[in-house]
Amino acid sequence: MPERAAWLPQAALVVGAVTVLRIVALGFDRTDLFVDESQYWLWGQRLDFGYYSKPPLIAWVIRAVTELAGSDAPFWVRLPGSLFHGATALILAALAARLFSARAAVFVALAYATLPMTTLGSILISTDTIMAPFFAGALYFFFRAAGEAQFRNAALAGLCLGLAFLAKYAAAYFLIGGALAHLLAPSARLTLRNWIAMLAVFALVILPNVAWNIANDLTTVEHTMDNVGWVRGAAWMSGLNPAGLAEFFFSQFAVFGPVMFAALLWFWVRPGRAKPLVWFSVPPLAIVCVQALMSKAYANWAVAAYFAGTLIVVPLLLQRAPRLLALSLVINGTIAALLPVLTVTAPAPEVNGRPLLARYLGRADLSRQILAEAEATGATAIVAEGRDLLADLFHTGRGAPVAFYALPPKGRPRSYYEQNFPLPEAAGGVLYVAARAPVCNGQEVAPSRLLDTGGGAYDGRHIAIYPVPGNCILDAD
């Protein structure tokens, strides 16, 4: 046991150094909040037990940090990313020390802290990042409960899993993994009493979000079904999507790192002592691969596979192929160093005359142009076409004497903004921000200002401001 405890000072030093450097870089980050980040911040201004597209924990975390800081600046919105991933690295290291060795624990901490997905999640705040330490904590206490059969550990596993679920519903993969491990890996079996304890605490923690969904027409479930797509009808019968499957599968070499992902696939076949962990790693990737084949899947949808995946790959590479582990650390470490540098040097570098990080630039500038027009004209209401524009307007325009609205939904709301900020029927004159001119009384409205969209996320797009009566927007088809 003393040998296994020896990992902590070294791991804490490594993870602490990486985390501090990331926070310093974040202080010089020149990118704007992305659409999702701005939306999560807005959720935090309206605390609830659930939101249109995600469970609530990310909003609570951002609200807590910005309240403590007394600032809603992008630095503070994004700060939890580095801290949560640093905590995740140490939790996984603790489990590695328990299952393997103190040496494995140090390398697990270093490997996780430099994964590409960790680096990106430390720059941009996301639900994956908020889920990470709680999913890792659920793994830690699950294996402690399996090894020691203590009721307390099972309850703590349920608590961590519930919090992970409140961050992202992908935490439910843990239950599939736990069931498979129970059936196929005797060393990872819980007693019936401990299963009941874990599931009871998990259910209790997620109950407020379940109740919110029921009270709000299963809003988040409906959005999840929209994302899955093929489950709603017979769309999948039009044909499978092998290109989408290939794109998703090969994107995982970038998410987890090329050596790490290749090694994970190999160690699934020959896992050795890591066999119980395999069952927590396989289901997320396998299920999302099916989703990609049936419809589409984004690269981050299988992130839940890589908490256990790190615990499989690093100790086994350390034992069987240490040079490959060193190569992986060099590759991932280089990415971990370069990505924050790019956020500091933005808009440089450019590729073909366009900033490499254009997707994360120009959003706040466009909002400031819109707000300047509102101030110049005395407008008190702005209606924006699309979620992207509204997301940044709410954040950049916080405190401005102007209200922001979405176009009224036709049928079920398609965004948080349509759900909560539709243009009211009693609206008077508004500034309408859109790519196409609205038609009022049979004539196209002339723009009052053509917005400068160059050099950023909206580069090449025609976006203008149109002063119109509110009923013109409400009556539009």
**Amino acid 231: pLDDT:** 55
Each residue's pLDDT tens digit, 5-64? 689 999 999 999 999 999 999 999 999 999 999 999 999 999 999 999 999 999 999 999
Residue 239 has pLDDT above 90, yes or no: no
pLDDT for position 434: 95
What are the pLDDT digits (tens) for 178-208?
A: 999 999 999 999 999 999 999 999 999 999 9
Per-residue pLDDT, averaged over 251-259, amounts to 98
Report pTM: 0.94
Q: What percent of the chain has pLDDT over 90?
A: 86
Mean pLDDT throughout 88-106? Answer: 97
- Average pLDDT in the 79-88 region? 98
Structure tokens belonging to residue 230: 């093929």
Q: Which residue has the higher pLDDT, 37 or 472?
A: 37
